Chains A and B, each alone.
Chain A
Amino acid sequence: MRDIVSAARLEKNIESKTSSLFVSAMSIKKATLMDNGVQNGTSRNMLERCASVNEYFDVAFKVMLLGDSAVGKTCVLVRFKDGAFLGGNFIATVGIDFRNKVVTVDNMKVKLQIWDTAGQERFRSVTHAYYRDAQALLLLYDITRKASFDNIRAWLTEIYEYAQKDVVIMLLGNKSDMAAERVITHEEGEKLAKQYGVPFMETSAKTGVNVELAFQAIARELKHRNLQQPHEPKFKIHDYIDSQKQKSSCCRV
Chain B
Amino acid sequence: MPDARMAADVHNKGVFWEVKNGNLAPSDRLRQDRSDSPTPGLVEGTEPGAGQEGAMFVHAQSFEDLTAVSESNTDDNSAEVGDSNLESAQEAALEGGEEESLEAEQEEVGKEEVQSRKKAKEEDVTSETWRSHRKHVFVLSEAGKPIYTRYGTEEALSSIMGVMMLLMSIVEDKKNIIRSIHADGYRVVFLRKSPLILVGVFQTNCSDRELTRELQYIYYQIVSLLTLTQLNHVFQHRQSYDLRRLLAGSEHLTDNLLRLLDRDPGLLLSAVMCLPLASSARDMVSSSLQAAKAKNLVFSILLAGNRLVTLVRKKDQFLHHMDLHLLFNLVGSSSSFRAGEGWTPICLPKFNPAGFFHAHISYLEPASDLCLILVSTDREDFFNLSDCKKRFLERLRRRNAYQSLQEALNMPSYPVSQVGIPELRHFVYKSKSSGLYTSPDLPAPYQGEEELERLMGLYQQLHSCLHNPTRLLRYIYRCADTENLYALVTSGFELYLCFSPLGTKSLAVSAVNKLLKWIRKEEDRLFILSPLTY
Q: Which residues of A contact B (CB under 8 A)?
A: 16, 18-22, 42-43, 46-47, 50-51, 68-70, 74, 78, 81-82, 89-99, 116, 118-126, 128-130, 145, 147-148, 150-151, 154
Contact = CB atoms under 8 A, between A and B. Distances in A.
B339 A78 contact: yes
B248 A120 contact: yes
A151 B343 contact: no
Nearest to A70: B116
Given A95-B343, A121-B248, A50 B384 contact: no
Given A21-B387, A22-B383, A118 B249 contact: yes
Contacts of B13: 125
A150 B342 contact: no
17 contacts: A19-B386, A21-B383, A46-B394, A50-B365, A69-B116, A89-B118, A92-B248, A93-B336, A96-B343, A98-B340, A122-B246, A125-B9, A125-B14, A126-B358, A128-B12, A145-B112, A150-B110
Contacts of B113: 68-70, 119-121
Contacts, number: 148
B364 A50 contact: yes
Nearest to A122: B246
Contacts of A148: 112
A45 to B, nearest CB: 9
- What are the 6 closest A-B residue pairs judged by CB atoms, nearest first? A95-B344, A92-B249, A147-B112, A19-B383, A99-B340, A154-B108
Interface string B323-354: 00000001000111101111111000000000
Q: Which of B113, B334, B393 has the most CB of A within 10 A?
A: B113
B518 to A, nearest CB: 37
Contact of A18 (B294, B339, B344, B361): B294
Interface of B: 9, 11-14, 105, 108-113, 116-118, 120, 225-226, 245-250, 252, 294, 330, 334-337, 339-345, 358-359, 361, 364-366, 379-380, 382-384, 386-387, 390, 393-394, 397
Contacts of A96: 342-344, 382
Per DSSP, are chain B's interface residues mostly helix, strand or loop, or mixed? mixed
A232 to B, nearest CB: 32
A19 B343 CA distance: 15
Given A118-B249, A126-B9, A148-B112, 15 more contacts: A18-B294, A21-B386, A43-B387, A46-B394, A69-B248, A90-B118, A91-B334, A91-B336, A92-B252, A94-B342, A95-B343, A98-B386, A99-B341, A116-B340, A122-B246
B109 A51 contact: no
Contacts of A20: 387
Nearest to B102: A121
Q: Which of B246, B340, B382 has the most CB of A within 10 A?
A: B340
Contacts of A21: 383, 386-387, 390
Nearest to B116: A70
Contact of B344 (A42, A69, A99, A126): A126
A124 B11 contact: yes
Contacts of B252: 91-92
A118 B386 CA distance: 19
B369 to A, nearest CB: 14
